[in-house]
Amino acid sequence: KQEVTQIPAALSVPEGENLVLNCSFTDSAIYNLQWFRQDPGKGLTSLLLIQSSQREQTSGRLNASLDKSSGRSTLYIAASQPGDSATYLCAVSATSGTYKYIFGTGTRLKVLA
């Protein structure tokens, strides 16, 4: 059974710092992995999708990497801003069956001005 863990659970950094959020999963047979942002009480905003055959994806100040063999993905945020404050979730999709997502518990990020 796939389990997804995110470390740290919470992070507080001063504005301008580069930071790394971690996601680990127990079953390396994944179809893809997606990173989401969630603001309090709101929905899921898709940030980056990495297919199982890819090593990384970039969008603006965000870069996500994937190492399937070790069951890890990282989300790198460059030059953090107060507007980046949110909870970041990773979700992995299995290679078979219905391709449902299994979500991690998230990292709650606070960027201080």
Task: Give the footprint of another protein on this chain (CB under 8 A).
Answer: 31-32, 34, 36, 41-44, 46, 49, 51, 89, 91, 93, 97-106
Output the smallest distance, CB 79 to another protein, in A.
25
Bridge partners for 21 per DSSP: 75
Nearer to another protein, 69 or 96 (CB): 96
CA-wise closest residue to 23 among 69, 75, 97: 75
The residue among 80 and 107 lying less far from another protein, judged by its C-beta, is 107
Nearer Cβ to another protein (89/111): 89
Closest distance of CB 45 from another protein, Å? 9
